[in-house]
Amino acid sequence: MIAYVTVGADDIAAAERFYSAFLPALGYTLEEYHGDLSYILPRQPGQSIALPDFYVKSPFNGGPATAGNGTMIAFEARSQEQVRALHAAAVAAGGFDEGQPGFRAAYGPHFYVSYLRDPHGNKIALFSSNPDEPGRDD
């Protein structure tokens, strides 16, 4: 089970603007610790597993933060509308569009996704696969 995911950032303030533009809408709360950012999902009563936390930190080795080639972190939204809204908010907060919200032929008919780069180049996906919403073939 994945306990947490960490991305590196050289500019924590820019990272906070970007990630705080959409993670709170997905239920994450922000905690700061020694200048780094921890986005935490609340544990629900009776929940047996903890969902992964998301950390944004300066690299421990003191070198520059770099994005992993082929690395992507995906966050699930509640609806296609939320994917569109959060994608727009993240771009407005300093992110870069890497793929407008929509369906992709390579994925299932209800997989609605957008892609972004954070201010440090980390690739982020926002998706919804809600079967109660119109699908690609509807």
CB 78 within 8 A of CB 130: yes
Token duo for residue 36: 């780094």
Please determine, for residue 120, whether its predicted confidence score (pLDDT) is greater than 90.
Answer: yes
44-60 pLDDT, tens digit each: 787 777 789 999 999 98
Please determine, for residue 9, whether its predicted confidence score (pLDDT) is greater than 80.
Answer: yes
Domains assigned to the chain: 4-59+67-128 (3.10.180.10)
Q: What pTM does this model have?
A: 0.90
CB 129 within 8 A of CB 111: yes
pLDDT at 102: 97
Q: What average pLDDT score do residues 110-131 get?
A: 96
Please determine, for residue 108, whether its predicted confidence score (pLDDT) is greater than 80.
Answer: yes
Q: What is the 3-state secondary structure (H, E, C) of 70-91?
A: CCEEEEECCCHHHHHHHHHHHH
Token duo for residue 130: 């809600």
